[in-house]
Structure 1
Amino acid sequence: MFIEAIYHRAIQPYLYAKDKDTVHILLETKAGDVDKVELLYGDPYDFKDDQWQFKKLQMKLTGSTARKDYWGITIKPEFRRLRYGFRCSNQQTSVVVTEKGFYENIPREIGQFFCFPYVHEADVFQPPAWVKDTIWYQVFPERFANGDSSLNPDGTLEWGSGEPTPTSFYGGDFQGVIDHLDYLQELGVNGIYFTPIFKAHSNHKYDTIDYFEIDPQFGDKETFRRLVKECHLRGMKVMLDAVFNHSGFYFPPFQDVLKNQQESKYVNWFYPWDFPIQTEPMPNYDTFAFVSTMPKLNTSDPEVRNYLLKVATYWIEEFDIDGWRLDVANEIDHSFWRDFRQVVKKVKPEAYILGEVWHDSLKWLQGDQFDAVMNYPFTDAVIEFFAKDTIDCAMFKDRVTEVQHSYPSNVNEVSFNLLGSHDTARILTLANGNIAKVKLMLLFQLSYTGSPCIYYGDEVGMTGGEDPGCRECMEWDPSQQNRELLSFVKQLIHLRKNIATFGNDATFRFEQADNNVVIYSKKAKDTKLVFALNNNEFAETVNTDILCGKEVVDVFTGEKIRFDGQAEIVLAPYGFICVQF
């Protein structure tokens, strides 16, 4: 046994409380090296004749990659306290794994074992309950719909005319969104994520001028209030985008620094390197990337901190928004985010706090900062396998399995799973125009654990490269929409909302991954779904033991299928099947 590969620490995601009574434990071993893992556990004060009293439970293999096997178990400690270790076995040997090392026999000294001192309900990560049942739709307000042409900025172009540029305007506004809420309701989404709506100079609005004012091209506060109310009447949540990492060039405090230089009362709001301030050829102050029009805010300054925390609560208190998406969240200090969470949750405990972090995000997901992050590792794996064909199905399985085991399950349930956004090329473009591949991606996204998000227009087959190409005007002409794809997306959303196992009320597990065919299952107490997706341009026949001897129902067609003996599935080119039993 390769004991050097056995890994566990008494921290997340290897140990955490799922609720006030339940503890989840995870262990890693070398792939294929261990046949059985037992949890050895008991109360730290339970002794009889000077012998610690412990129990044994077999752990489940919850996932595998080329390098690792993941073993998990969920238990309810009788007195909310826990000491524990593991016994790993294969055909040759067994080893006891403790915090202090590896042993042939179970140690007598309780201090050798891992410890969960006490399950405190206050320490349990508790994201908003509604998020795991939410299907998001991302709206880039300037490009979704023009409902009030009287608000058009100077130089506004005819809707959909020409290729979008970094400086072009098409007049999208709140009234346009209100006019199409019936469309979104019919689609089945129940959450809208808006990119920034605050007063700004650009068309994308990530260069904020005033955090307390609506950009006039979108409408006024009364129109926005009406938009939020209309969404809520339809059972839709509303999430806004906050840019707290940096302001815009025309943000009054930065303009004051430009005018008064080191004498400005706002000089500590930013990070000047020296004076006088210069913007070209390179800014001599901290910025987002090296963009001179986006000066970085000093969130450790008390005045900046107080200002931004007031912004965080104002839009909840005044307009009843349901969440914040936080731009460039990883470049802001953790202390600020802890304060942010406290003020937001005090005003609205069920508000959703979503950070834009593109990499491993565990340190933001300890229950004291964010509820979730934008799950770009998931995005990348799906795009690279299905759309680009740059990784094979084994690597796809490994990448998704690693994401799945990187965070606690209650974090995964509210993870923001996206395929495309205003920052990435359109999924149909990445798939070289192959609608069948887009269907596979959407099927996987909407059947995976988490809170999925559809980027506006992806459901009707819009195309476009990297920014600004991915920010074209929404296509509202039915004759120019891919109506068959739209119907398919509606069907997926309907399945997710009406079959609990299709969504978050089930455990996800890969069953097979060979020859560009992935098979995975979703299991709940009484039901199980099995999915098979063929990412090949040719038909593929696969055998899977998981369906042997089962009578199943195809959830897409309602057809009953009986597998006697060997279960053989024939998949069309880029075909798929989902069966329930």
Structure 2
Amino acid sequence: MTVPDWVQDAVFYQIFPDRFANGDTTNDPANVQAWDAPPTLWKFHGGDLRGVIQKFDYLLDLGINAIYLNPIFHSTSVHRYNTTDYYKIDPMLGTFEDFRALIDLAHQNGVRVILDGVFNHCGRGFFAFNDVLENAEHSPYLDWFHIKRIPVDAYGPGKAKDYLAWWNYKSLPKFNTMHAKVRQYLFDVAKYWIEQGVDGWRLDVPNEIDDDTFWNEFREVVKSANPEAYLVGEIWEANPRWVSPSHFDGLIHYPLREVLLDFIADGAIKASKFADRVEELYELYPKENTFAHFITMGSHDTVRLSTICGGDERKIRQAFLFQLCHPGAPIIYYGDEIGMAGEKDPLNRHTFPWDKSSWNHALHNFVQKLIALRHRLHPLRRGSLKRLVVNDKIRVCAFGRVSEEGSAAVLLNASDSIQRLQLDVSDLGWTKGQRIMEALGDEELVVSEGHLKLELQPHGGALLYGI
């Protein structure tokens, strides 16, 4: 199995296109909402690909070198998970030329771009499903879907009864991916966009296509077009099946997010349970896949990080500290780095506030600093994970990262009190007299007899590396 090497060095940024930036008002719908209006499930705010281009310097300044775009293909909804045309950029997001300009700009700056692949289901406006609605049992596309009865009611009230649909939503008819022509159509789509310069796919609900042969063929098609293309699956559970040689390079690591937030945000688990689970998840997958997971603290499908942490900036910083020091590819959900809050959809999909007066600048600078350190320090990107300290009584946990180019350590204090430690650093290869930098406080320390003395603030942390 070949996993793209570049993923280990990537720091991703997730963009929900309608809500990030509006760079071209001429493609806005007639009923476009004010940019700062409260988000809703159905109303558009005018974000587009030109907006991403215009704000690209912001991403570069933050330290981002990879972008994941939520769906950008022609659709009828804000989220665009109900695709109408897989070969067309949604006109409200721009043109193919805008897409090409974004890809070119990204690649010129060493930034990769991956797209959201929604291949389990489509929208009601998709040509083949429309043909079924028009021609019923005479449609040549009848077997492209799971039709239960004719005529098909696709627009009346209630759940889907005449055909299979994702979660029984009529607007999301499920493909019959066992059909050879459906498979070929979807594989051709995946290959086409890779050939247009896309660097990989984030696969939406891939477990809904519970067919190893489909994903094996999908992988072969994509990798034949570009061996360095990255495939990451939206799998919410911890399951190594999905990173076998017939599936994906990595998964969106929601289980890791869950256990971290249970420890630092809710205080629901002990340090030992947290550490045990972190190690269990680290060892569950082959190393190349462990280092290719999306390390996420939130997405368009979750409550925002700031909200989960109750607005406590100390805990938010702890989450970013762990995320940006852990094996895998960190991915920041747009706006989390400036403290955007929001409960579940639609409140977690507010427009990005380009008026900087609402930003948490200190948090932004903290995240920016951590990203820069990750880019600079080899062990944070490629080092193995080692447990250093776990103490249930004081709720402190520390992990080391060790590579052939050095060592680093990240410490978390999930208690309400200052904790003073004498940290054994022998497993990090640090010896007496060695100078160590504590990066968060810019404090220089010196190893004494294989130990470091340091102090952790309540709900604080530390990042250590050798000078």
The residue matched to 1:213 in structure 2 has which SS?
A: strand
1:166-219 Cα deviation digits (max 9, x unpaired): 111100001100001111001101000000000001000000000010100000
Q: CA deviation at 1:576?
A: 1.5
Q: CA deviation at 1:479?
A: 1.2
The residue matched to 2:105 in structure 1 has which SS?
A: helix
| Contact kept in structure 2, 1:341 and 1:370, CA below 8 Å | yes
- Identify unmatched segments of 5+ residues in structure 1: 1-124
- Is 1:142 the equivalent of 2:21? no
Give the corresponding residue for 1:72. Answer: none
Q: CA deviation at 1:563?
A: 4.4
- Is 1:512 the equivalent of 2:395? no
Give the corresponding residue for 2:189. Answer: 311
Work out the CA distance in 1 between the residues paired with 2:165 and 2:85.
18
Q: CA deviation at 1:347?
A: 1.1
Give the corresponding residue for 2:6. Answer: 130
Give the corresponding residue for 2:457. Answer: 572
Work out the CA distance in 2 between the residues paired with 1:310 and 1:303.
10
| Contact kept in structure 2, 1:361 and 1:373, CA below 8 Å | no
Sequence identity of aligned pairs in percent?
38
Work out the CA distance in 2 between the residues paired with 1:577 and 1:401.
20
Equivalent residues in 2 for 1:325-344 (5 A)? 325-332=202-209, 333-344=211-222
Work out the CA distance in 1 between the residues paired with 2:308 and 2:60.
28
| Greater relative CO (CA pairs within 8 A, separation 6+) | 2
Give the corresponding residue for 1:98. Answer: none
Work out the CA distance in 2 between the residues paired with 1:251 and 1:511.
54
| Contact kept in structure 2, 1:549 and 1:567, CA below 8 Å | no
The residue matched to 1:283 in structure 2 has which SS?
A: coil
Work out the CA distance in 1 between the residues paired with 2:97 and 2:215.
29
1:101-135 Cα deviation digits (max 9, x unpaired): xxxxxxxxxxxxxxxxxxxxxxxx21011111111
Give the corresponding residue for 1:345. Answer: 223
1:270-307 Cα deviation digits (max 9, x unpaired): 11222332354331221111211101101111111111
Q: CA deviation at 1:550?
A: 5.6
Give the corresponding residue for 2:280. Answer: 402
Give the corresponding residue for 1:239. Answer: 114
RMSD (Å), alpha carbons = 1.6
Code of the aligned partner of 1:574: H
Q: CA deviation at 1:555?
A: 4.0
Code of the aligned partner of 2:435: V
| Contact kept in structure 1, 2:271 and 2:395, CA below 8 Å | yes
Give the corresponding residue for 1:154. Answer: 30
Q: CA deviation at 1:525?
A: 2.9
Code of the aligned partner of 1:127: V
Code of the aligned partner of 1:330: N
Work out the CA distance in 2 between the residues paired with 1:495 and 1:571.
20
Give the corresponding residue for 1:253. Answer: 128
Give the corresponding residue for 2:444. Answer: 560
Work out the CA distance in 2 between the residues paired with 1:287 and 1:361.
25
Radius of gyration: which is bigger? 1
Q: CA deviation at 1:538?
A: 2.2
Give the corresponding residue for 1:376. Answer: 254
- Identify unmatched segments of 5+ residues in structure 2: none
1:487-512 Cα deviation digits (max 9, x unpaired): 111110110001111222x1111222
Q: How many residues align?
A: 454
Q: CA deviation at 1:444?
A: 0.4
| Contact kept in structure 1, 2:66 and 2:111, CA below 8 Å | yes
Give the corresponding residue for 2:99. Answer: 224
The residue matched to 1:544 in structure 2 has which SS?
A: strand
- Is 1:543 the equivalent of 2:422? yes
- Is 1:189 the equivalent of 2:64? yes
Q: Find 2:198's aligned residue among 300, 307, 321.
A: 321
Code of the aligned partner of 1:217: M
Work out the CA distance in 2 between the residues paired with 1:578 and 1:349.
35
Equivalent residues in 2 for 1:73-472 (5 A)? 125-161=1-37, 163-279=38-154, 280-284=157-161, 285-317=163-195, 319-332=196-209, 333-472=211-350
Work out the CA distance in 1 between the residues paired with 2:445 and 2:100.
51
Give the corresponding residue for 2:379. Answer: 501
Q: CA deviation at 1:537?
A: 2.6
Work out the CA distance in 1 between the residues paired with 2:72 and 2:397.
40
Tell which deviates more after alignment, 542-551 or 425-434.
542-551
TM-score normalized by the length of structure 1: 0.76
Bigger helix fraction: 2
